[in-house]
Amino acid sequence: MRAAVLTGVREVRIEDRPEPEARPGWVVVQVESASLCGTDAHQYDGRIDTPFPRVPGHDFAGRVASAGDGVDESWVGVAVAVKPSLPCGDCPECLSDKPFDCKRKKLIGLWSDGCMTERIAVPVVNLIPTPDGIEPWQASLLEPLAVGLNTVDRLRLLLGETVVVLGQGPIGLALTRLCALSGAGRLIVTDAREAPFAVSRAYGASDCLDVTQVDPRAAVLELTGGAGADTVIETSGYPASSAIVLDLVRKEGKVAHIGWANDLPPLPVIPIMAKTLTVFGIGGNGGRGQYERSLELVRSGRVDLAPMVTHRFSLDDAAEAFEVASSKSGGAIKVLLTP
Amino acid sequence: MRAAVLTGVREVRIEDRPEPEARPGWVVVQVESASLCGTDAHQYDGRIDTPFPRVPGHDFAGRVASAGDGVDESWVGVAVAVKPSLPCGDCPECLSDKPFDCKRKKLIGLWSDGCMTERIAVPVVNLIPTPDGIEPWQASLLEPLAVGLNTVDRLRLLLGETVVVLGQGPIGLALTRLCALSGAGRLIVTDAREAPFAVSRAYGASDCLDVTQVDPRAAVLELTGGAGADTVIETSGYPASSAIVLDLVRKEGKVAHIGWANDLPPLPVIPIMAKTLTVFGIGGNGGRGQYERSLELVRSGRVDLAPMVTHRFSLDDAAEAFEVASSKSGGAIKVLLTP
Amino acid sequence: MRAAVLTGVREVRIEDRPEPEARPGWVVVQVESASLCGTDAHQYDGRIDTPFPRVPGHDFAGRVASAGDGVDESWVGVAVAVKPSLPCGDCPECLSDKPFDCKRKKLIGLWSDGCMTERIAVPVVNLIPTPDGIEPWQASLLEPLAVGLNTVDRLRLLLGETVVVLGQGPIGLALTRLCALSGAGRLIVTDAREAPFAVSRAYGASDCLDVTQVDPRAAVLELTGGAGADTVIETSGYPASSAIVLDLVRKEGKVAHIGWANDLPPLPVIPIMAKTLTVFGIGGNGGRGQYERSLELVRSGRVDLAPMVTHRFSLDDAAEAFEVASSKSGGAIKVLLTP
Amino acid sequence: MRAAVLTGVREVRIEDRPEPEARPGWVVVQVESASLCGTDAHQYDGRIDTPFPRVPGHDFAGRVASAGDGVDESWVGVAVAVKPSLPCGDCPECLSDKPFDCKRKKLIGLWSDGCMTERIAVPVVNLIPTPDGIEPWQASLLEPLAVGLNTVDRLRLLLGETVVVLGQGPIGLALTRLCALSGAGRLIVTDAREAPFAVSRAYGASDCLDVTQVDPRAAVLELTGGAGADTVIETSGYPASSAIVLDLVRKEGKVAHIGWANDLPPLPVIPIMAKTLTVFGIGGNGGRGQYERSLELVRSGRVDLAPMVTHRFSLDDAAEAFEVASSKSGGAIKVLLTP
């Protein structure tokens, strides 16, 4: 069985690997589509420590090929999306049948071999059956939507609020679309590249600010009559973007932080008090139905994932796929891999 | 000055009336557009007791013609929408500068002569300046939107919820549009006429049920896999519609009641408990910024009022306008009157 | 093994019954305390159809005596409270390890033999281990607290709200205590007996209204300066009480319905709209951690259950226990049975 | 008329000042009680820049002595508490009769001469009539309660939550009491002095941590079984206290920041995201009814302010009053001044 393997920083090889086996409670999934996310690119670039050699990848979809002991045989042949983290199996939550409350979940493709291969074994609790009309490439792109849903569920926009989404990578674009669907009025987005703005506009952005050309602070204040936005969502993970969130938001407004990086500047406390702000930290996809609801948003056509997909490669071209995802060359947003 | 006058049940005449004068704290508004709402039609039909003769009408927009004592002269010439109820001026709230918390507000056109005339005097606190790009006919149609905003503000939809809107008159249509903007997933609407469904679909309805053709209870359960809708909003004010709200909603769901009529059946308590429901009563436009936000929804193009306007008449043809609004003939939804 | 058996309406006998056995996934619990609730009394009186002969009772606590296959042996000897309804075991929720989302749960003691015996078999998922310092009689009295918590969690009182609790049976008293703990300001309670008012006052009630002596509508309006209460909670299940909830609550206030009876009058819709009310239906204990939090309220001393316990009987005197619970003689509130 | 005057850093003199006069819309209040807050002490110590000479003080109560033009004469003789900030009178909010939305409000006693005198002129909109049973010393102590109410209103505690209040100065003590009334379960407080802990316990604290004796981080984790508290409220304004809030709170918990100082350390963003926290900034008393509700909490006895008052002085002894408030000697919490 073929697999793409990270053998070192910026080194991807196609290797032959043994077939996976389904332990009790697990299944083997035939991978039909995998997508590359920022974490994959960071592993490739060496910005995330990875125990090489490692088969990367955690965002994928496919079809159940075989089922281990204790798993209902009717799963075999079912088309599925797969949640990206493995419960530890040992903690009180896992032992009392609540594996998704497990606090020691481990990302597939980092702490164990991942999905950039032909077949992979996962616990049956990680599976989400996909309905008719959902294709594998769509089912492999649910993570940014699920993270975005976890965000808008907590922000509870009032109809007509002015929202700023900082950063238009996949999570930023997902939030642009989800805020447009959730009642945002003026919807201002920023990025350091022009490339994603065509998608931003298709998703409902009213104003796209290229931060290499305009000062986003001055621009947002001008667009809001000097008051600041009702809600500001930082998804970029860039220090310069994170540093201005408290300047962009209005008195009594809301701030959400999703973009994650080790070098983000800390938040001063005085403006949080002086402006009577509420700051929401978003740590992931929530794990409480957000995947299932993301599927329905795609199935119903309310979210069209196609504009986000800029590149598709076969598994044999995994090295090129990682290079594109890492460099973001050619206007790359989402890169898909088909085994 | 000409005015349309209700002189009795189903009797409208054009009469000459004296010019209004602006008392201290009041202004005279030159009426540029008035719209007929259900209350006007009920007054015409005799279903609401009206002290005849009476100039009807409370939904209107125009331009400030003159200002009374104590009113800033800069108001003169300003284009305005007008809130439809007069504060009493005598209660503790009115006396302490909070006229919009007045509990004895009186509807213009019912308790005093209304807007179906050339000029009318109103308190300056009833005025909302309209921004550039808003035309008078739009500014005279804000009430259904303001009532709808007051509803969705309280319901706080979660993105993707299944919503049923019962009745597709102006308020039902406004709620169809506002729920679509606020994140409704499947959005099912009902009416006893096919006429409004083209607007419903343009506003975002996914399923339109003609209750003269299908059983809405069976249809909603089938569309929701037997579970019922997350949220059900009754706007029709018809007993047959009000009687089924608790059947249409899912366990732990939400219900809103807006449609008002004296013959509505009461709600049984057991299903409210057994299904763990939350029932919201909506009594009007809320009076806390909903008019201003409605204006912005129209200005930004997120709500297009044009499809709701089916008929336009000049003031001299007020009798015909009332007949159309009362009979709903010719697919009537909203009828406008231009002095 | 001895058991109290309902052999017909108002007929209780002590009989010898075979020992229960623990099926896979189940345990046998040695009953150390059982409490009688309104449902038990209704079964005894014949107001709830019961398949006689039936061992009644569902509110109890004890110690695990033996464990079936698949149950961790460390459960044996553990002190436990027991949730009162059995998941069906057959539905999609039960089959996917979410038995507490089962929509066909059946009350112990009604649809299967209950706890008024020495030992009973229950599924391990129904057990809640009780911490040190909790005695069995306390652990057998958690249901009214759990129902009350499910209520105050949804009402979200603002500190200082005026609250009315209609009915001071066990659930009404539980809500009196929980509202006092949750920030109620003026806390008005009603009942048709003076007996529970000493407990009401100890639990934090500020005003106790005997509805056989005063008109509660007039009294509440007087105590609230004519405005009505911020929140009204109906727990009595009596038609005369249920009929006045909408009169007692202020404009923009909240209403909760918990008291359950087939003859409750329906709610008129117009006042719900005219007063802009929110009506909450409460269908039970919620099943999402309310039992566990109730235990902690008792353990920490914030809720003292002792004042509610007016009568204690041994299992052999079950007939007298039922008579007292049914007649509410001797100021009965809660009646305990010890095997 | 006598007044206490700050003539420089740590210099207080009693001087003769001219009688104030009531401008239109203003009244003169006969001061009956004033209280010293942290701001007054900071002005005295020179930590807040003050234009000397200045009559300090903004927390006070008294009786209306005379009324200016346009003020209802029935105000004269009314007992009142006074809100501590003056609207600017010039901004759009002030000019449209919403002075309490004024964004340029100025603290009395800092930007204009304050209340440590016999009589002072204030706008009528700053007055809150005090009901029978409220004494002037109580009415002069409402500010910490109003700030605390503004905090618990936003936190919306679930009954039984574990709460930590960092700092037990007047605002910290107010929050201890308000959290106890709002449903806190375990209620842990910290301070660097033992002195306030007797009041903390009387107000409902379950655990008092002297941070000079124990490590609050270790202690809170131990008291919460390693999980952290549900809610953490920082009131001290000390860097060492502010630095640990994110360590004390559990995953998915809430943090409120009230304690204000220029040298507070900023908040790192990663733990806010990793723990999925919500951070609330509290900037003052909210200005939307919190003063009125604070009065009612005192009137009803639910908040007993007496334990907070450790020292009382006459106006002539203002210098000593400031020295005690600044040094916190003698276990000082709240210091009152009576003209």
Taking only the tens place, the pLDDT of each residue in C28-49 is 999 999 999 888 998 999 888 8
* Contact check, Cβ <8 Å, B156/A156: yes
Cβ atoms of A308 and B175 within 8 Å: the answer is no
pLDDT of the residue at D261: 82
pLDDT in tens, A190-211: 999 999 999 999 999 999 999 9
Task: Please report residues of A whose CB lies closer than 8 A to that of D242.
Answer: 269
More confident residue, B304 or A97: B304
Position C96 confidence tier, pLDDT thresholds 50, 70, 90: low
D185 near C CB under 8 A: yes
User: Between D159, D181, D186, which is nearest C149 by CB?
Assistant: D159
Task: Please report residues of D whose CB lies closer than 8 A to that of C156.
Answer: 156
Partnered with residue C227 across adjacent β-strands are none
pLDDT of the residue at A98: 67
Q: Give every CB contact of residue B122 below 8 A, 6+ residues apart in sequence.
A: B26, B27, B29, B82, B86, B108
pLDDT of the residue at C103: 73
* Contact check, Cβ <8 Å, C281/B273: yes
Token pair belonging to C7 = 């052999």
pLDDT at C259 over 70: yes
Average pLDDT of B243-258? 97
Q: Could you tell me which of A6, A258, A289 has the C-alpha nearest to residue A142?
A: A289
User: Between B242, B270, B278, which is nearest C269 by CB?
Assistant: B242
D-proximal residues of C, 133-162, CB under 8 Å? 149, 152-153, 156, 158-160
D182 near C CB under 8 A: yes
pLDDT of the residue at A88: 79
* Contact check, Cβ <8 Å, A297/B185: yes
Mutate to test the interface with D, among A166, A246, A257, A269 (most CBs of D within 10 A): A269
Backbone angles phi, psi at B290, to 5 degrees: -65, -35
ipTM: 0.93
pLDDT of the residue at B11: 96
Q: How far does the CA of residue D79 sit from the closest CA of chain C (Å)?
A: 21
A187 near B CB under 8 A: no
Average pLDDT of A127-133? 93
* Contact check, Cβ <8 Å, B183/A183: yes
Whole-angstrom distance, CA of residue B26 vs CA of residue D93: 20
B197 near C CB under 8 A: no
With b for 16 or more beta-carbon neighbours within 10 A and e for fewer, the A229-263 pattern comes to bbbbbbbbbbeebbbbbbebbbeebbbbbbbbeee
Average pLDDT of C91-98? 69
Task: Please report residues of C whose CB lies closer than 8 A to that of D186.
Answer: 300
Q: How far does the CA of residue D293 sit from the closest CA of chain C (Å)?
A: 7
* Contact check, Cβ <8 Å, B183/A181: yes
pLDDT of the residue at B145: 96
Percentage of the residues of chain A whose pLDDT score is greater than 90: 84
How far CA B327 is from CA of B322, B323, C177, D238, in Å, comes to 8, 6, 56, 71
Cβ atoms of D10 and D45 within 8 Å: the answer is yes
More confident residue, D42 or D310: D310
pLDDT at C111 over 80: yes
**Crossing angle between the packed helical segments A143-155 and A170-181, to the nearest 10 degrees:** 50
pLDDT at A239 over 80: yes
Say which range, A37-51, A313-327, B26-40, has the weakest mean pLDDT: A37-51
For chains A and B, what is the number of CB pairs under 8 angstroms? 45
How far CA B4 is from CA of B40, B84, B230, B314, C4, in Å, comes to 12, 18, 45, 11, 80
Residue of chain D minimizing CA distance to A261: D270
Cis peptide leading into residue B53 (ω within 30°): yes
How many Cβ atoms are within 10 Å of D191's Cβ, its own excluded? 26
pLDDT in tens, A64-111: 999 999 899 999 999 999 999 888 777 777 766 667 677 778 889 998
C225 near B CB under 8 A: no
B279 near C CB under 8 A: yes
C288 near D CB under 8 A: no
Chains that touch D (3 or more CB pairs under 8 A): A, C
Task: Please report residues of B whose CB lies closer than 8 A to that of A153.
Answer: 158-159
User: Between C258, C269, C278, which is nearest B273 by CB?
Assistant: C258
pLDDT of the residue at A20: 97
Helix, strand and coil in chain C, % to nearest 5: 30, 30, 40
Q: How far does the CA of residue C178 sit from the closest CA of chain D (Å)?
A: 8
Task: Please report residues of B whose CB lies closer than 8 A to that of A158.
Answer: 153
Say which range, A200-209, A245-254, B138-147, D257-266, has the weakest mean pLDDT: D257-266
Residue of chain A minimizing CA distance to B292: A160
Q: In degrees, to the nearest 5, what angle opens at C-alpha B54 toward C-alphas B51 and B57?
A: 115
Q: In degrees, to the nearest 5, what angle opens at C-alpha C45 toward C-alphas C42 and C51?
A: 80
Q: How far does the CA of residue A206 sit from the closest CA of chain B (Å)?
A: 10
Q: Are strands A106-107 and B106-107 parallel, antiparallel or unpaired?
A: unpaired
Say which range, A140-149, A279-288, C70-79, C112-121, has the weakest mean pLDDT: A279-288
pLDDT at B113 over 80: yes
Task: Please report residues of A whose CB lies closer than 8 A to that of D267.
Answer: 266-267, 269, 272
* Contact check, Cβ <8 Å, A158/B153: yes
Say which range, A98-112, C148-162, D70-84, has the weakest mean pLDDT: A98-112
Gyration radius from chain A CA atoms: 20
Cβ atoms of C244 and C229 within 8 Å: the answer is no
B105 near C CB under 8 A: no
More confident residue, D288 or C185: C185
pLDDT of the residue at C97: 63
* Contact check, Cβ <8 Å, C278/B275: no
Q: Could you tell me which of B108, B25, B35 has the C-alpha nearest to residue B69?
A: B25
* Contact check, Cβ <8 Å, A278/D276: no
The whole-chain average pLDDT of chain C stands at: 94
Percentage of the residues of chain D whose pLDDT score is greater than 70: 98
Average pLDDT of B229-243? 96
* Contact check, Cβ <8 Å, D183/C185: no
Q: In degrees, to the nearest 5, what angle opens at C-alpha B334 toward C-alphas B330 and B339?
A: 105
pLDDT in tens, D187-237: 999 999 999 999 999 999 999 999 999 999 999 999 999 999 999 999 999
Task: Please report residues of A whose CB lies closer than 8 A to that of D273.
Answer: 257-258, 260, 281-283
